[in-house]
Amino acid sequence: MRESRARGVAHRLFLLLGFAAVFPLLSCSAKPDPNTLVMIIESSPTNLDPRVGIDAQSERIDNLIFDDLLSRGDDLNVAPGLAEHWEMSDPLTYVFHLQPGAKFHDGRALTSRDVKWTFDGLLQGKIRSTKAAVYRLVDRIDAPDDFTVVFHMKERTRRCCGICPTAPSVLSPTAAEMR
């Protein structure tokens, strides 16, 4: 009886050691695709459209993938993002000047029309999002040239154009329409 028990334990130990030796080989594979991003996150994002996703995972991935019109500096003050500088031409008008040379992932140049398209989706109700309420004071947006975006406000506001600190990232209309 003792012998068969010892043999059973030795057999299990042999199987366990064999599995431990073979298991690492199962994870070996070809080289990963350099065009593929692999991330570990706690849970799935609810939406990858930065105008819509409000959960922590969506926001985290948004910050890794997209650029904002404005950002926050290390001192938490409003800082340039895709807009290299901006000014108020009057109490109801904010003029943003885009950084020349900014491009989307597909190599297409960022223009003021892209910024307008991103925000117009929220302002006109084409994109249903709780983030739209932040822009309730924005009357309309103009894109007079490729590098200038003009936000016209309905009334005065202390916040920079009513879009800080929650301005959505600027999207490529071409890429967004492909999804």
What is the pTM assigned to this prediction?
0.69
What is the average per-residue pLDDT within 121-140? 83
Instruction: Note whether 170 and 67 are within 8 A (CB).
Output: yes
- Residue 170 is classified by DSSP as P
The Cα-based distances of 139 to 81, 89, 111 in angstroms read 23, 16, 21
- Enumerate the β-bridge partners of residue 32: none
Q: Which domains does the chain have, with CATH numbers?
A: 68-178 (3.90.76.10)
- Enumerate the β-bridge partners of residue 86: 96
Q: What is the pLDDT of residue 118?
A: 87
Give residue-wise pLDDT tens across range 4-38: 676 776 777 777 776 666 666 666 567 778 888 77
Q: What is the pLDDT of residue 151?
A: 92
Give CA–CA dist 157/136, Å, rounded.
11
Where is pLDDT greater, at 100 or 59? 100
Give residue-wise pLDDT tens across range 64-74: 778 888 887 78
Q: What is the pLDDT of residue 45?
A: 80
- Lowest-confidence range among 46-60, 100-114, 135-149, 162-176? 162-176
Give CA–CA dist 137/157, Å, rounded.
8
Give CA–CA dist 169/35, Å, rounded.
22
Cβ-Cβ contacts under 8 Å for 131 (sequence gap 6 or more):
51, 52, 54, 122, 166, 168
